[in-house]
Amino acid sequence: MRARRSVALALTGVLAAVTLAACSNGDNSNSNAGSGSTSTVLNVGMPNGPQTENHNPFLGSSSGASLGYRWMIYEPLVMLNGIKPKEPGKPWLATEWKWADNFTKLSFTVRDGVKWSDGKPMTAEDVAYSFQLRKDNEGLNQDAIPYGTITQTGNKVDLTFTRSQFVNQSKLLTVFVVPKHQWSTFKDPSLDTVKEPIGTGPYKLKSFTPQTTTLELRDSYWQELPKVKELRYTSYNDNNAQTTALANGAAEWSFVFIPNYKAVYVDKNPEHHKLWFPANLGIHGLWINTTKKPFDNPALRRAMDKAINRDDIFMQGEAGYFYPKVESVTGIPTPAGESFIAPEFKDKKHAVDVDGAKKELTDAGFKLEGDTLKDPSGKPVTITLTNPAGWSDYVTDLEIIKDNLTQIGIKATVDKANQDAWFKAVDEGNFDATMHWTNGGATPYDIYQNIMDGKILKPVGKGGVSGNYGRFNNPEATKALDAYANATDDAARTTALNTLQKIMVEQMPIIPTSASNVGGMYSTKNWVGWPDEQNQYAPAQPTQQNALQIVLNLKSASGA
């Protein structure tokens, strides 16, 4: 499997990437529903192997995060739609929120009438405490929010920040709330194991085993109770087992990469087996170590970009569905990021242009002698493309890129690395080029900050990086990122973002190939009301916060 995580810190989403075998036929009935009966159970699966019990919602390595069930217990202040970043949020535990003073102040009105699963009322004091907990514990403040004051009066919670939080709006609005009466008893909230989770969500823990976690519906909830009375989260040993479970109906909802998805999943029950993988504002691409010669030369990186065939990467490496191709030369995914693209790049799309690539190279002093490209010093240009051996989509992407680069005389080799060794190499900057992802957010800022920010730049050999894996050093980019983050109006933000796009196109610190997704596979045999292309109310991934929104929207397929 492939976990979406930074080199230093495991995160929540899990992407799968091993070759899958054909799956069994049939679509089993819901385990709690015989023929013609009303379904009461929803079976969710992830290919993450045996779990260790820990329901701590802050920890990306916890069972609750790995399988996604933490979002059924712990709720956010505001529910945002990750695939429609410009939509206003949906009031959740907060009924109102207001920013002031160039996003250095934020005020919440906390919803009345909400109770914790242990029966005690949730109050604004719990909300203030949830922020204070993050401020006081560096391990819980994963987004490094510069908290100032945190105060509570009645049902109001007011926050201040030491600098503009325009770029962190979504991260602050979607903060989940924990009960002060429980969490104040923990010695180290960033590390403690939580065995008895108490939340405001519609479900509570029923049972746990390393293979299956079961949640049951609470007796009461501040919204209408969902139709799903029980959620069973099963952690399958690998992608093959997870795909088999999807094919035979043992799992009804999952997020897993299936190279031959049509044959092994959809065709097993075309009427009910569905998948939807919408793009969001994050990307994947070939990160180039810009400290290594001759790849420190942007002309070489631009030439490589012109040689790479994104159609082949999408259709072969990503099975024609998993990671949608990035078309804009800016690297901004569309349609999610269409409105952010600078006027000068509106109609400019990536296209294979080998002749254009060769011109880039000759203009920069490179020479193509036969089928060998030599750099300005006369040395043949070679590159090692590396990713973990088990990440089959990335490895296929690299094989395609290897073949593409031969067209401009670059001899590439594909290193199918040990996963731990790969993480260490990328963390410390000891690589030539690798497929990797970026952060995502409500604007392209998060993409560019992850790629180009000099503030997170570390020298080769020093680990603990949180981005800028290619060690890209461009003071103009860092300045533009700061200008965007601290701008006082939209015009200034647009100017800064347009500057970042120009740097991306001209310097090509990474070669963007694909958009991130927040997709999922699901069955409509027992449950209907899933998000899809026609009803994009939420991302389809079961480990995202919006999974709660989906479960609340589901209804029995029998109509009962």
Top-tier CATH class for 203-278+520-556: alpha beta
d(CA 257, CA 267): 16
DSSP string, 427-463: HHT--SEEEEE----SSTHHHHHHHH-GGG---TT--
- Quick one: average pLDDT of 417-445? 93
* Gap between the Cα atoms of 526 and 229, Å rounded: 13
Q: Please name the residue that has the structure tokens 């254009």.
A: 356
pLDDT (0 to 100) of residue 7: 32
C-alpha span between 396 and 275 (Å, rounded): 22
pLDDT single digits (tens) 139-155: 888 788 999 999 999 99
- What beta strand segments (E) does 154-308 contain? 156-161, 203-208, 212-217, 230-235, 253-254, 273-276, 279-288
The token duo for 405 is 């680069």
pLDDT of residue 26 exceeding 50? no
Q: Which token pair is 372?
A: 């060998």
Contact 142, 9 (CB under 8 A): yes
Has residue 18 got a pLDDT over 80? no
Side-chain-side CA neighbours of 482 within 13 Å: the count stands at 9
- Please give the structure tokens belonging to residue 157: 């919670």
- Three-state secondary structure readout of 496-531: HHHHHHHHHHHHCCEEEEEEEECCEEEECCCEECCC
Task: Report the C-alpha gap between 212 and 235 in whole angstroms.
Answer: 6
Which is more confidently placed, 439 or 23?
Answer: 439
State both tokens at 525. Answer: 């045999």
Residue 314: name the closest of 450, 521, 517 by CA.
517
Stretch(es) of the chain classified as CATH 3.90.76.10: 74-184
pLDDT value for 16: 32
CA 367 to chain centre: 40
* Tens-place pLDDT, residues 51-83: 999 999 998 888 999 999 999 999 999 999 988
CA angle at 147 for the pair 143 and 150, rounded to the nearest 5°? 130
| 209 CB-near residues (< 8 Å, 6+ apart) | none
pLDDT of residue 466: 81
pLDDT class for 38, splitting at 50, 70, 90?
low
* Torsion sign, CA atoms 303, 304, 310, 311: positive
Neighbours of 210 (CB within 10 A): 12
Reading the block at residue 96, the tokens are 């109102």
Q: At residue 375, does pLDDT exceed 90?
A: yes
Smallest CA-to-CA distance from 524 within 271, 277, 276 is with: 271
Contacts of 328 (CB under 8 A, 6+ apart): 334, 337, 341, 345, 348, 349, 350
What is the per-residue pLDDT for 130? 98
Q: What secondary structure, in 3-state letters, does 248-269 show? A: HCCCCEECCCCCCHHHHCHHHC
Cis, bond preceding 294 (omega within 30 deg of 0): yes
Across 391-403, average pLDDT: 94
Q: Is the pLDDT of residue 311 over 90?
A: yes
Please give the structure tokens belonging to residue 100. 């002031």
Summarised one tens digit per residue, pLDDT across range 344-368 is 999 999 999 999 999 999 999 999 9
Residues 507 and 299: beta-carbon distance below 8 Å = no
Which residues of the chain are in CATH 3.40.190.10 domains? 203-278+520-556
**Average pLDDT rounded to a whole number, residues 166-195:** 93
In DSSP terms, 259 is beta-bridged to none
Fold classification of 74-184 (topology level): Dipeptide-binding Protein; domain 1 (3.90.76)
For the chain, residues classed under CATH 3.10.105.10 are: 279-517
**Token output for 351:** 């296209």
Say if CB 30 and CB 229 are below 8 A apart: no
Q: Is the pLDDT of residue 249 over 70?
A: yes
What is the spatial distance between Cα 257 and Cα 393, in angstroms, rounded to a whole number? Answer: 8
C-beta neighbour count of 439 within 10 angstroms: 20
Backbone φ and ψ for 414, nearest 5 degrees, come out as -105, 120
ω into residue 335 within 30 of 0, thus cis? yes
Residue 201 confidence (pLDDT) above 50? yes
Q: Which of 28, 17, 60 is nearest to 543 (CA)?
A: 60
The pair of structure tokens assigned to 23 is 């799956």
Rg over CA atoms, the chain: 24
Those residues whose C-beta lies under 8 Å from the C-beta of residue 477, and which sit 6 or more positions away, are 448, 452, 453, 454, 500, 503, 507
What end-to-end distance do the CA atoms of the chain give, in Å? Answer: 38
Residue 247 CA neighbour count, 13 Å, CB half: 21
Distances (CA, A) of 230 to 40, 43, 54, 179: 6, 9, 19, 23
Token pair belonging to 116: 């914790």
Pick the more confident residue, 188 or 386: 386
Query: Which numeric CATH code is attached to 279-517?
Result: 3.10.105.10
The type of residue at 460 is V
Per-residue CA distances from 19 to 344, 394, 513, 522 (Å) = 41, 12, 21, 20
Q: Are 186 and 198 in contact (CB under 8 A)?
A: no
